[in-house]
Amino acid sequence: MTETATHLHDTAQLPQVHANRNAGLPLDLDWVARVQANTSAIERRAATLPGRRTVKKSYQAAWLARAITLIDLTTLAGDDTPGRVRRLCAKARTPVRADILDALGLPPLTTGAVCVYHEMVPTAVEALAGTAIPVAAVSTGFPAGLSPFHLRVREIEESVKAGAAEIDIVISRRHVLTGNWQALYDEMCAFRAACGEAHVKAILATGELGSLRNVARASLVCMMAGADFIKTSTGKESVNATLPVTLTMIRAIRAYEAATGFRVGYKPAGGISKAKDALVYMAMMKEELGDPWLKPELFRFGASSLLGDIERQLEHHATGAYSAAWRHPMG
């Protein structure tokens, strides 16, 4: 049997992929216990990718344009104001100057979403009216996730009521650190139920989970509980998105799809501010999960400064010269 025929034979044994969102499944503690993570092998694999996978010239411009559509343009500051959020939404509507798009022959673009605190959801919804750009709200006592449980659930409900189409929740890290997978599963199920039709992104805060094995197991449990996305970080931890963590999480996604047929999205957040870094993450997604995960339905960057650097790189492709950062403001 040829290599191609063998591949087709193996693929035929996989469950049919569901077009609808992840429905979850009962907690399988045996499966969770079997999950391991070879840290040294994961780190070696992650370290080789930036040097092996590059795209150049017009291909790079096309990938960077795609990256813009994958950005959850985010403001999560204590001094956020309605004016700042409206400016951010204006940038989400028109993330790249029209003259750059025209020079490169690119169509109009928008970002994947705008992500804000609950208080700013109505402002963002109003500012994005008439577009297909969803509003995402961070919730459940973001970023620590230590407020009373009933208040965390109520916060989700209030954000959905205010018009948020996506909810970024934070898990209780203690459940992972103590191996209380039933508690994590029950918590995630409650959050998913509170979201209703809004899609839920489970923030694992991977920098606080202690090991890649914990990251892999927490990823699996959240998917079993119905998470539509799994996300690395709040952006407030000392360690946020990294390539080893990304490889661990997306391989958990791959295993979950192989077993259930459900596709779960992935969102790295925190520390991704350069266009070249976005290209590396996109290359890893393509190699490990395939082209379907290079669309906003299944992949997002949690970022804001990333957009400015991508726009700057696109202007270089159009003009041959690098411009100052102030030429590409967020609002």
Q: Would residue 231 show up in a list of annotated catalytic residues for this protein? A: yes
- Point out the catalytic residue in the list 72, 91, 168, 228: 168
Q: Would residue 168 show up in a list of annotated catalytic residues for this protein? A: yes
- Point out the catalytic residue in the list 72, 91, 201, 231: 231
What CA–CA distance (Å, rounded) separates 294 from 115?
Answer: 19
What is the Cα gyration radius of the chain?
Answer: 20
What CA–CA distance (Å, rounded) separates 248 from 232?
Answer: 11
| Per-residue three-class SS string for the chain | CCHHHHHHHHHHCCCCCCCCCCCCCCCCHHHHHHCCCCHHHHHHHHHHHHHHCCCCHHHHHHHHHHHHCCEEEECCCCCCCHHHHHHHHHHHHCCCCHHHHHHHCCCCCCCCEEEECHHHHHHHHHHCCCCCCCEEEECCCCCCCCCCHHHHHHHHHHHHHHCCCEEEEECCHHHHHCCCHHHHHHHHHHHHHHHCCCEEEEECCHHHCCCHHHHHHHHHHHHHCCCCEEECCCCCCCCCCCHHHHHHHHHHHHHHHHHHCCCCEEECECCCCCHHHHHHHHHHHHHHCCHHHHCCCCECEEECHHHHHHHHHHHHHHHCCCCCHHHCCCC
Strands 135-138 and 265-267: unpaired
- Point out the catalytic residue in the list 91, 201, 228, 267: 267
What CA–CA distance (Å, rounded) separates 257 from 14?
Answer: 9
The residues annotated with a catalytic role in the active site are: 168, 231, 267
